[in-house]
């Protein structure tokens, strides 16, 4: 990502030729008040992160400065903030850069990365999509969009079964089953136990079918004890289910 942004900054530097009358070859527009871009440009050339932040503020904040210079400074400073872990400030600079030039696929992708790190999947997916609209063959944006789309799909599937046990509560008849259905925490525990047990049985069956059957009998015995013991004063259903899940997870990690 840093290489992509560096290449973009260098490209902008090439096209940014300031005319003697104070106009810019990149925009053809007069700049009005003369802006000394040299200190900021020197900091960019040197790759000095601290000087970029200190010396480019005046240039970035002056809308009379040459557009190409401001754009180059914004992208560079955004990259500095990104390296420093200040995602909000980096997003702010990329926002301004995209307002100046909304055709920068690399910056849409970079901002999407930052939104994703913040957990804002909606804005991240929109930015990756915008990058691909501008450049359908953008490799990083293609990978990011695909990965995030799959993540959102998996998240949606998890939400769909959240707080639901492994069995159909509409058909629950046993008191213990009704208790599990009535508690989101117990329902999630039951679903996790069933999922991990399925994985344990599958793994055991690869080496020995009988071993897989033995693991399933162990699960069946647990359910039978749970059904028979539930309701007794000394029986803690949640503790028993948690113990069973921990045991299964230990088997998976072997």
Q: What is the DSSP string of the chain?
A: -HHHHHHHHHHHHHH--B-TTSBBTTT--B-SS----HHHHHHHHHT-HHHHHHHSHHHHT-TTS-HHHHHHHHHHHHHHHHHTT-HHHHHHHHHHHHHH-TT-HHHHHHHHHHHHHTT-HHHHHHHHHHHHHH-TT-HHHHHHHHHHHHHHHHHHHHHHHTT--SS-GGG--SHHHHHHHH-HHHHHHHHHHHHHHHHHHHHHHHH-HHHHHHHHHHHHHHHHHHHHHTT-TT--HHHHHHHHHHHHHHHHT-
Question: Are residues 191 and 209 part of one domain?
Answer: yes
Q: Which comes out higher in pLDDT, residue 163 or 216? A: 216
Q: Are residues 223 and 204 in the same domain?
A: yes
Per-residue model confidence as pLDDT tens digits over 88-101: 999 999 999 999 99
- The reply to whether 17 and 39 lie within a common domain is yes
- With a cut of 90, say whether residue 136 has pLDDT above it: yes
What is the value of pTM for the model shown? 0.53
Let me know whether 27 and 57 are in one domain. yes
Enclosing domain of residue 90: 1-101
Residue 222's nearest CA partner among 205, 237, 232 is 237
Report how many domains make up the chain.
3
Tell me the per-residue pLDDT of 13-46, one tens digit each, with 9 for 90 and over. 443 433 334 344 344 444 445 678 899 999 999 9
Residue 24 and residue 43 in one domain: yes
Given a cut of 60, is residue 1 above it in pLDDT? Answer: no
Same-domain status, 20 and 90: yes
Domain boundary among 161, 177, 204: 161
Quick check: 106 pLDDT over 50?
yes
CB-based contact 231:225 (threshold 8 Å):
no
Same domain, 134 and 222: no
- The verdict on 1 and 87 lying in the same domain is yes
Judgement on whether residues 90 and 184 belong to the same structural domain of the protein? no
């Amino acid at each position: 990502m840093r290489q992509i942004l560096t290449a973009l900054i260098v490209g902008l530097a090439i096209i940014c030729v300031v005319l003697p009358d104070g106009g810019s070859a990149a925009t053809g527009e007069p700049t009005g008040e003369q802006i000394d871009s040299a200190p900021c440009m020197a900091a960019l050339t040197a790759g000095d992160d601290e000087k970029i932040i200190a010396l480019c503020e005046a240039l970035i904040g002056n809308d009379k400065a040459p557009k190409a210079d401001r754009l180059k400074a914004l992208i560079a400073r955004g990259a500095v903030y990104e390296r420093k872990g200040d995602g909000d400030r980096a997003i702010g600079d990329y926002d301004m850069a995209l307002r100046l030039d909304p055709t920068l696929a690399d910056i849409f992708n970079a901002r999407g990365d930052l939104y994703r790190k913040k957990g804002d999947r909606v804005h991240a997916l929109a930015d990756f999509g915008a990058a691909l609209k501008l450049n359908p063959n953008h490799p990083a944006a293609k990978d990011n969009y695909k990965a995030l789309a799959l993540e959102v799909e998996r998240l949606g599937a998890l939400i769909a079964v959240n707080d639901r046990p492994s069995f159909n509560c509409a058909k629950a008849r046993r008191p213990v089953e009704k208790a599990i259905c009535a508690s989101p925490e117990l329902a999630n525990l039951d679903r996790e136990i069933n999922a991990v047990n399925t994985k344990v049985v599958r793994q055991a069956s690869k080496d020995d079918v009988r071993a897989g059957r033995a693991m399933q009998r162990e699960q069946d015995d647990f359910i039978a004890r749970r059904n028979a013991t539930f309701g007794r004063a000394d029986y803690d259903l949640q503790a028993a289910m948690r113990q069973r899940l921990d045991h299964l997870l230990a088997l998976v990690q072997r």
